[in-house]
Structure formats: C-alpha cells, structure tokens
C-alpha cells in the first residue's frame, strides 16, 4: 500500500489520520523497534521518523535536543535505515522519513531503494525546496517512495496551488509560520486555508507544526484529513510518558466518530 492509500483508507473508514513524529536514535537505536511497534499497536496511521542532523534549521528546540542526543548515540541516516530494515516485516503502517538534504546526498544513489526496503513510503526534506526536487525525485519515484511537500498556509495562493499539485503521499500543511514546536495560539481563518488546499489537490491534507494538545488535535483534525504531532511525542517518549501519547491518539480517534 502506498502512503496515500494508507491515509485515504483511514479517511474512507470515517476517521482522521494520526501521525506521530519520533526522533530515531533518541534513547538509542536499539529502542527504535519497540517505539515503532508500540505506536503501531496503539493504532497510529503512519509514523514520521526524524533523522538526526547537526544543523537542523527547520526544527524547534525539543526536536533539536532529541537530535543531539541521537547524534551522541552515533545515529545517522545509514544506520537508521539498516535498523528499520531489520524489523520491516513487522511493520504494517507506512513510515515517513524526515531528513535534511545533505545526509541524503552523502548516502548516495541507493538511498531511495534502501529506504523502501526499510518500510519508508514517504520522505520529507525540509531544506530541499520544491523547485530543487530533481536532485532526488526520480530515484524516489522509481523506488515507490513519495516526496511529501511542506506547504505553509501563509504562502501566496499560486504557490500553494503549485506545491499542492506537486506533492505526493499527502500534503503536509504547516499551520504556523516558522519552525516546529508547541505554540499556544494559531492564526485565524484556518478553515478557509484548508479549504484552499483541498481545492488544489486530491491528496489527503495533514496539519502539522505546533500541535501539542488533545484540543489542538481535535481542532486541526476537524479542518483536515489528519494531524502530525512532533515535539510533544518526542518529549513524551523521552520521558517514557505513554499516557500523554495515548490521550493524543484518543483525541484523534474521537474525531472519527460521527
């Protein structure tokens, strides 16, 4: 099943997608299997797997610190992919890798193929703009890995339309200006913004960046086809606080109950 199909299936059943972000290697790569399988058991729709990087320009402090811990454990794109491959047969939901461009270039031409074998069905490269996607796009297409576009809701209408039409897997709607991290307030008129995205593309639209409470999960899930929760999940996993994670997932599941 492709990434798009997996999310559409959740929506077709009347539900909203819930995609947690985890930092691979935070707590050691040996914990990655347990984390992925536990989230899968809890019923998440897909998992965004962050790859640590020494220069994470698009990440807020929570994810940056998790990345630093992971780097100290010796985590890198290569051993994350190898680790994911080692238990890929146990994973039934799609994984989406979030990585910066330079590690992908350093990995070399087998990246897309190896990623697919690791269960990765989508890739997000926040420092590679849409116009530069040619750097890795054809390899990803050939391997069957979607290149997901981040779309800022504050972009001009024509840019939103262009990125929405060019995204694959789903549309990652950035709900606040700037970097990842928990925010107390969001811009108004969100319903109109999401409606524009739905007009521009038939892909599912997931809302991300700054969603950290069950109330926000419900609010953004109401406008979109699902939500991505990053910093809050990363924190909760680091603190072994699975109760908070379950509450967030629960909030998303309640959305599906018509």
Partner 1 sequence: MEATEKRGFFGEFGGSQVPADLQKVLDILEEQFYHFKDDEEFNKELNYYFTEYVGRKSPLYFAENLTAKCGGAKIYLKREDLNHTGSHKINNVLGQILLAKRMGAKRVIAETGAGQHGVATATVCAMFGMDCTIYMGAEDTKRQALNVFRMELLGAKVVAVEKGQGRLKEAVDEAFADLVENYDHTFYLLGSAVGPHPFPSMVKHFQAVISKESKEQHLAKEGKLPTAVIACVGGGSNAIGSFADYIEDKEVRLIGVEPDKAASITEGRPGDLHGFRCIVLQDEEGNPLPTYSIAAGLDYPGVGPEHSYLHTIGRAEYVTVSNEEVLEAFQTLSKVEGIIPALESSHAVAHALRLAPTLSTDDSIIVNISGRGDKDVEQVFNMLK
Residues that bind partner 1 (CB under 8 A): 53-55, 57-58, 61, 64, 68, 71, 76-78, 101-107, 126-132, 150-152, 154-156, 159, 163, 174, 177-179
59 is catalytic: yes
The CB-of-136 to partner 1 minimum distance in angstroms stands at 11
Of 26, 59, 114, 235, the active-site residue reads 59
Query: Which residues, in sequence order, are CB contacts of 113 under 8 Å at separation 6+?
Result: 139, 143
Of the pair 163, 251, the CB lying nearest partner 1 is at 163
8 is catalytic: no
How many Å is the maximal CA-CA distance in the chain?
Answer: 47
Of the pair 57, 165, the CB lying nearest partner 1 is at 57
Of the pair 134, 243, the CB lying nearest partner 1 is at 134
Interstrand relation of 17-23 and 47-50 (parallel, antiparallel or unpaired)? parallel
Closest of 160, 168, 166, 249 to residue 213, by C-alpha: 249
Of the pair 15, 126, the CB lying nearest partner 1 is at 126
CA dihedral sign of residues 166, 6, 25, 138:
negative
Calpha distance 217→229 (Å, rounded): 8
Q: In what helix (H) or strand (E) does residue 121 lie, and over which residues does it extend?
A: strand 120-124
Of 8, 26, 48, 64, the active-site residue reads 48
Closest of 94, 7, 114 to residue 47, by C-alpha: 94
Cα–Cα distances in angstroms (integers) from residue 177 to residues 17, 167, 197, in the given order: 23, 20, 17
The CB-of-118 to partner 1 minimum distance in angstroms stands at 16
Residue 61: both structure tokens together = 């402090």
The CB-of-47 to partner 1 minimum distance in angstroms stands at 22
The CB-of-183 to partner 1 minimum distance in angstroms stands at 11
Let me know: does 87 contact 33? Beta carbons within 8 Å.
Answer: yes
Of the pair 206, 245, the CB lying nearest partner 1 is at 206
**Residues carrying an active site annotation:** 48, 59
């Amino acid at each position: 099943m492709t990434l798009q199909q997996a999310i559409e299936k959740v929506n077709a059943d009347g539900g909203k997608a819930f995609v947690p972000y985890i930092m691979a290697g935070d707590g050691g790569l040996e914990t990655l299997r347990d984390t992925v399988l536990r989230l899968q058991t809890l019923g998440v729709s897909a998992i965004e797997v962050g790859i640590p990087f020494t220069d994470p320009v698009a990440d807020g402090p929570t994810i940056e610190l998790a990345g630093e811990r992971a780097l100290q454990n010796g985590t890198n794109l290569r051993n994350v992919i190898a680790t994911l491959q080692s238990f890929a047969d146990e994973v039934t939901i799609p994984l989406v890798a979030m990585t910066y461009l330079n590690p992908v270039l350093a990995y070399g031409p087998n990246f897309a193929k190896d990623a697919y074998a690791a269960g990765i069905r989508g890739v997000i490269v926040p420092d590679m703009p849409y116009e530069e996607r040619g750097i890795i796009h054809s390899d990803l297409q050939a391997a069957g890995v979607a290149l997901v576009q981040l779309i800022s809701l504050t972009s001009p209408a024509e840019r939103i339309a262009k990125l929405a039409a060019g995204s694959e897997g789903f549309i990652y709607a950035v709900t606040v200006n700037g970097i990842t991290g928990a925010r107390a307030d969001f811009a108004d008129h969100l319903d109109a913004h999401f409606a524009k995205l739905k007009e521009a593309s038939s892909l599912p639209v997931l809302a991300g960046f700054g969603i950290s409470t069950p109330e926000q999960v419900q609010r953004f899930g109401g406008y979109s086809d699902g939500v991505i929760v990053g910093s809050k999940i990363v924190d909760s996993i680091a603190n072994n606080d699975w109760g908070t994670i379950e509450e967030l997932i629960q909030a998303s599941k309640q959305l599906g109950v018509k």
